[in-house]
Amino acid sequence: MKIKCPKCKEAAELADDFSFVRCPHCSLDVTYGEYVRIIIQNDSTYSDILEDYGGSSADSTSSTLDDWEKEAK
């Protein structure tokens, strides 16, 4: 699915199984865990995402990302 790149703010690609995040605009190529950490480093507002990710629930992580995308637009 398309997500917002944490580095260049362009459209990046999140693997359907949350295994990686890749951005063709800035050559970002990281695991989903690393992607979450980058977001947190950029804006502490999203620190709650880390707690969701730590729960290792793909569903709760997905909904959090959806909410984040809506607010980003």
Cβ atoms of 39 and 28 within 8 Å: the answer is no
DSSP three-state, residue 57: coil
Mapped onto helix, strand or coil, the DSSP state of residue 25 is coil
Segment contacting Zn ion (CB under 5 A): 21-29, 32-40, 53-61, 63-71?
A: 21-29
Q: Cα dist. 9→17, 42, 52, 69 in Å?
A: 22, 12, 23, 12
Query: From the CB of 24, what's the least distance to Zn ion, in Å?
Result: 8
Q: Which of 1, 15, 26, 58 binds Zn ion (CB under 5 A)?
A: 26
Q: Which is nearer to Zn ion, 15 or 26 (CB)?
A: 26
- 14 binds Zn ion, rule: CB under 5 A: no
Q: Is 28 in the site for Zn ion (CB under 5 A)?
A: yes
